[in-house]
Structure 1
Amino acid sequence: MQWREVVTFVALSYAIAWAFWTPIWPDALQSLTRWRTPTSYGGGAYTALGMFAPAAAALVMRLFISKEGLRGSLGVVRRWHYYLIAVFGPVALVMSTIGISVATGIGEFDPGTNRPFWYVFLLLLVIGTPISSALALGEEYGWRGYLLPKLLPLGEVTASVIVALIWAPWHLLLLLVGLNYPGKDPLGVLVLMTTLGIGLSLLLTRLYVAAGCSVLVVAFLHGSLNSFSDRLSDAKHLSGDPFVVTVGGLVGIGLIAIVVLITYWRRSPVVSATEQPATSSAQGDRGHDELPAGP
């Protein structure tokens, strides 16, 4: 295990992002003092650029510290069905979360527009998801593209949990200014976000490995989830306790847990974890037949 590289990368990812988010530090500290997050997100649109901190950290590591270089680091594959899974899997999760919350009476959904729902859906799919995926690539190039391969020799599950325990608290400043869980106590926010992070990390790892170590595929999954959940299941459109009704609440986490159990129960053998990062680029160049089997 290359623990020195892991620790250095994590330190850089936190330092770059939290330095960029310096303007929200006072509001974050105020939330801790009041022991309550704001009722609406107060970070501003510029905070989304902080998502590129893990990518910046990975570039520094690849070029100057661990020196793997950049060749093949995106692990691009050409199997289109992985991208369909990446885009429409989160759509199914968000819509199921909304449906369960409304059907059980624990939440109410308001699309927030007079336009037909198909119009909103199409905008999120065609415009929102590509934009969100480009932003998510800033995270995934670091978390899954650099950190995960360093940890995969420990096994997919262990590696996924470690990544999640790093990834979820990385969002802490944003969470404290109202991201995902407005009007809630900070400890509960961190616990729910970490639980969500573990579930998502397991799914992202499985898709990353199955898709031949493709960072682009997991970036599309991350981006699609952000696009649809941020617009359809946020507090403005899905009312109710955010600890319960949202994708990051008990309903969404429960659905993710079911998918994780099914996915890992029926997963196919893949090449060894220590071989994947080195072969991902070559696999993409050789075509489709030599990629690992999908989930």
Structure 2
Amino acid sequence: MTAEPTTAEPTTTEATTAPGRSRADLLLFLTISFVGAWITMVPLWADGLRRTSAGQGTPRLAALCMVLMMLVPALTAFGLTARGRGPRRAARILGLTRATPWRRELRSVAVALTIPPALTATGLALATAVGWYAPAHLPGPGAVGALVLSALLSVPLYFGEELGWQGYLLPRLLRHGRIRGLLLGGAIWGAWHVPMTALGGSYPGHPAVLGVPVAVVTAMLLGTVIATIRLSTGSVWAAVAAHLSLNEFTLPLTRAVSGRVVDPLLAGPLSVSTWPVTGLAVLGIWLAHRRGAGRRRSLPVPQPRPTAGR
């Protein structure tokens, strides 16, 4: 997010001029995205793979399935939007094309990259205070360089999610109210991860009955922050940067800095110890929106000038 105020919000023709069609398309998008997520995880369920420890690595089959899963929302959104419009217009509607000057866009991306680490660092401080985390050392230049390279190679995958969630879904949820739409979008995002979460993807070693609700609440909070970044810039680029920073930097750095195996349920960007921090961020977003709405309601209504009588 940038310091400069903006009113840019993603909109689509369907979401604003054809409510019936928009609802049908939204249902189709969610159906394909959720069914597609489960289908891409079938090989892991069939293989009986489950993460039982935070120290367990990611097998190649699991990595491939996750890549395919991440591409489902974008492909679905692009296909639905491009019908009768063509790829160029679809890219503009979904926020893929640049919505602001390049200098401002790059500044927004740079700031977005810092938001997940800032939230996580504060959450780790809380986790350290209660004994859930033990920082031991800073990562070396080689480790940081490897993370940067991995992040650059993974950029298309995060577009795979955010074109769907922030480009297609978010505009349609905003009709239910801004804050309600943001939280609902986050809940949908968390529920979409269930096929992976139930296998111990986010919280290894914990039962699905615990991991799934925690994942949904976490997604509601973090998803609201990412969606707000999307709304403040008018494009998905900064939202992609925030999501990439969350997965490619904060998660591995949390493990790299610790002197012992980290339980992601208790410490890290997806942990309950980060909930108070992201919760405060969401509260700030709500207060800022409420204050802005109040200012808009209080603006004086221009009165017509009296005309001279004849």
TM-score normalised per structure 1? 0.77
Q: Which residue of 2 aligns with 1:22?
A: 42
Q: CA deviation at 1:122?
A: 4.7
Q: Say if 1:156 and 1:205, in contact at 8 Å, map to a contact too.
A: no
Q: Say if 1:156 and 1:202, in contact at 8 Å, map to a contact too.
A: no
Question: Distance between the aligned counterparts of 1:65 and 1:253, measured in 2?
Answer: 43
Gaps of 5+ in 2: 1-18, 294-310
Question: Distance between the aligned counterparts of 2:229 and 2:83, measured in 1?
Answer: 29
Q: Looking at CA atoms only, which structure, 1 or 2, has the larger radius of gyration?
A: 2
Question: Distance between the aligned counterparts of 1:118 and 1:209, measured in 2?
Answer: 34
CA separation of 1:3 and 1:183: change in aligned 2, threshold 3 A? same
Q: CA deviation at 1:109?
A: 3.6
Q: Which residue of 2 aligns with 1:278?
A: none
Q: CA deviation at 1:197?
A: 0.8
| Residue type at the aligned position of 1:81 | R
Gaps of 5+ in 1: 32-36, 271-295
Q: Which residue of 1 aligns with 2:143?
A: 120
Please point out which of 182, 190, 194 is paired with 2:212: 190
Question: Distance between the aligned counterparts of 1:136 and 1:66, measured in 2?
Answer: 24
Please point out which of 254, 258, 261 is paired with 2:283: 261
CA separation of 1:235 and 1:3: change in aligned 2, threshold 3 A? farther
Please point out which of 32, 44, 51 is paired with 2:70: 51
Q: Structure 2 matches for 1:54-133, cutoff 5 A?
A: 54-64=73-83, 69-72=89-92, 73=94, 74-76=96-98, 77=100, 78=102, 79=104, 80-109=106-135, 116-124=139-147, 126-133=148-155
| 80-89 or 40-49, which deviates more | 40-49
Question: Distance between the aligned counterparts of 1:100 and 1:159, measured in 2?
Answer: 29
CA separation of 1:71 and 1:51: change in aligned 2, threshold 3 A? closer
Q: How many residues align?
A: 259
Q: Say if 1:148 and 1:163, in contact at 8 Å, map to a contact too.
A: yes
Residue aligned with 2:267, SS:
coil
TM-score normalised per structure 2? 0.74
Question: Distance between the aligned counterparts of 1:265 and 1:27, measured in 2?
Answer: 47
Q: Say if 1:131 and 1:223, in contact at 8 Å, map to a contact too.
A: no
What percentage of aligned pairs have identical amino acids? Answer: 24
